[in-house]
Structure 1
Amino acid sequence: MNFKAIILVFVFQVIAGVLWYASIPSLFLGRSLLEGVNQQQPTVKIVLLFAFSAFVYLLFIAWLLGKVQIPSIFGRFCLVVGVWIFIVLPNLFFVSLHLELDSSEEIYLLSYGLVNTLLAALILPLSRTSRSIFKD
């Protein structure tokens, strides 16, 4: 695994998350994301838990790319996007059913997940593993 690439993707995902959370809800949903909900900002514990879970998911994707022998960059890109489509996307639909989100909120959450996936899919397949110089 190339930890520099993983950290780079994570930093880009955090920046995208801050921008997404700060500006997009009112533009996309026509209201603040917290409108009609308790007006408290997320606690530090929740933010750290979210960042930790995103980092662990990113480590899993990098590990998977290292273990799967797909020679083409496009194939590796498709693997990362495929994991999101076939594993993460169904879980988001399941969660949205239990949270009773409307369609605009579901699209908002799914589009943020897609942005994070595309960041990982564009950067991680291009990076070589750190130990690649020791291979024959």
Structure 2
Amino acid sequence: MYKINHKAVMLVFVFQLAVGAMWYASTPSSFLGRFALEDLSKQLSIGMVLLFVLSTFVYLFFTAWLLVRIKGMSGFGRFLLVIAIWLFIVLPNYAFVSLHLSFSGFDTFYLLSYGAINCAIAAIILPLWRSSRSIFNN
């Protein structure tokens, strides 16, 4: 039985954090009322940064755990599964944002784009880089 490939999870996690930093740095000024990198030390609280990092890791680890538990699917099928999970999470969020918040289409797209990029990174690396089997199982 395959186990979670922790190297792949950590690689994807590092990529997702790098993309998150670039995503935040490119925040439109309409969201923040200022440029994203202006007075950065005063704007970001350590609690919000930790919450962001923790939520990204938990979602990624859950995805890796789910991929290990599914049997009988090819790498491409696992890729499609990760994409489908993201779509079923994003479509209700898009509907909620469109109905309850007065954001433009571009602003809504920007809000949901980070999840799309994270999903693409995880869908490419996790299904294809599976953990190797060990002959020394307990």
1:80 matched residue in structure 2? 82
Q: Return 5+ residue gaps in structure 2 as ranges.
A: none
2:68 matched residue in structure 1? 66
C-alpha deviation, 1:85, in angstroms: 0.3
2:55 matched residue in structure 1? 53
Q: Secondary structure at the match of 1:33?
A: helix
> Hey, what's the Cα distance between the residues in 2 that align with 1:48 and 1:89?
26
Residue 50 to residue 96, structure 1, CA distance change in 2 (3 Å): farther
CA deviation vs aligned residue, 1:41-64 (integer Å, no higher than 9, x gap): 221101110110110000110000
In the superposition, the TM-score normalised over structure 2's length comes to 0.80
1:114 to 116, 126, 129: 116
2:32 matched residue in structure 1? 34
1:7 matched residue in structure 2? 10
C-alpha deviation, 1:88, in angstroms: 3.9
The one-letter code matched in structure 1 to 2:15 is F
C-alpha deviation, 1:10, in angstroms: 0.5
Q: Return 5+ residue gaps in structure 1 as ranges.
A: none
- Counting helix residues as a fraction of each chain, which structure ranks higher? 1
C-alpha deviation, 1:90, in angstroms: 1.5
In the superposition, the TM-score normalised over structure 1's length comes to 0.81
The higher radius of gyration belongs to 2
